[in-house]
């Protein structure tokens, strides 16, 4: 579990740095530490429900991106299968 926390923290820091710049990393670290502390004292059911909710919310921007890029995806898929048939 400890190595997983380190990995999640690293990925989160890199995402925050990409989105908001280096100055936002300190705020993220504080938030991460508070989240770990709270997660260690609340019930497991609450932690798992929160985790499931956050994972579900991550699907929303991905689905929007798929919808916005669906025309390009169709074109590239058709092009790929046309080339494979040759």
Q: How confident is the model at residue 84 (pLDDT cuts 50, 70, 90)?
A: confident
Residue 28 contacts residue 16 (beta carbons within 8 Å):
yes
pTM over 0.85: no
Q: How confident is the model at residue 85 (pLDDT cuts 50, 70, 90)?
A: confident
Counting residues of the chain whose pLDDT is more than 70, the rounded percentage is: 99
Q: How confident is the model at residue 18 (pLDDT cuts 50, 70, 90)?
A: very high
Number of CB atoms found within 10 A of residue 16's CB = 20
* Whether pLDDT at 65 is above 80: yes
Count of CA atoms in the C-beta half-sphere (13 A) of 82 = 6
């Amino acid at each position: 579990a400890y190595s997983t926390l380190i990995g999640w923290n690293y990925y989160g820091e890199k995402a925050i740095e990409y989105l908001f710049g280096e100055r936002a990393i300190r705020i993220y670290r504080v938030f991460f530490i508070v989240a770990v502390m709270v997660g260690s004292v609340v019930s497991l059911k609450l932690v798992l429900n929160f985790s499931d909710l956050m994972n579900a919310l991550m699907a929303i921007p991905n689905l929007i991106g798929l919808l916005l890029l669906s025309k390009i995806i169709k074109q590239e898929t058709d092009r790929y299968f046309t080339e494979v048939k040759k």
